[in-house]
Amino acid sequence: MNFYFMTPHLFKPLLQVLCGLLCFAGAGLVMAQTSRLDRVLQNKELRACIWPEYYSITYRNPKTRELSGIDIELTQELAKELGVKLRYVDSNFSQLFDALEQDRCDVATHAIGITPERTARLQFTQPYLRSGLFAVTLKNKEGPQSWESLDQPGRVIAVAAGTLMENVMSKSLKKARLVKVQAPGTREQEVLSGRADAFMTDYPYSLRMIDLTDWAAVIAAPQNMPTTEYAYAMAKGDNSLLLKVDAFLSTVKKDGRLLQFAKQHNLEPIVVLK
């Protein structure tokens, strides 16, 4: 197009369109250059994904609706350090990838077990907890009474879909049948109904079964079984927020706050301080 011969009444609208396009492109460039940490600071809000069924970790009391757990304590401290408000986003392990990759939350803060499958898609802070496996079954019932009696013909073992127990038990069970429970179903229902002989969980959730039920018996895995380290997880890409949260975890390990919160929620046996 020859701008030299363009009449004034055509040139002005075209100039406005070009300016608009340049402004739009400039705004997009600024947004693209805004780091994950900068966005949190600018919005003055940290969105933390939690699983509100995770006893001692991020547990919502069904009567009072109040949240408690080590990760509730830690995220409140983190938000204070960042100078932002905290917004909890309900999630679970089967929604973990979508919640982070679809930007529903900035960080998953419900003791995410570090596994190769998750590491391939997410980035993790340093670990702050480490847990082995526990089986939960019925008291006073003919059934599994030891770890060795779990993997037997005719046994049914339940796991929550998306948890690290699903992957571990899929590989380790040779004779028993594995049932993967999807929400709104629960592992507890599978055992109480008789559809499963036991369900697999970790140390924090085993505390829930001991503290809040009168029917559960807990069987710990042998000491030679592998343990899993837990950390906070974020979507891959920009690591500015990851570095900030990682530095925060280093600080609370050194100044005693992590151990203090672990003791408050009976998690001292699995806390990672180095």
Name the pLDDT band for 26 (thresholds 50, 70, 90): very low
The class of domain 36-130+228-270 in CATH terms is alpha beta
In whole angstroms, give the CA distance from residue 201 to residue 189.
14
pLDDT the model gives residue 11:
47
Architecture of the domain whose range is 133-220: 3-Layer(aba) Sandwich (3.40)
pLDDT over 60 (residue 8):
no
**pLDDT tens track for 32-59:** 579 999 999 999 999 999 999 999 999 9
In whole angstroms, give the CA distance from residue 63 to residue 121.
36
CB 228 within 8 A of CB 164: yes
Where are the chain's structural domains?
Answer: 36-130+228-270, 133-220
pLDDT over 50 (residue 79):
yes
Instruction: Compute the radius of gyration of the chain from its Cα atoms.
Output: 24
Domain 36-130+228-270 matches domain 133-220 at the CATH topology level: yes
pLDDT the model gives residue 145:
87
pLDDT over 70 (residue 168):
yes
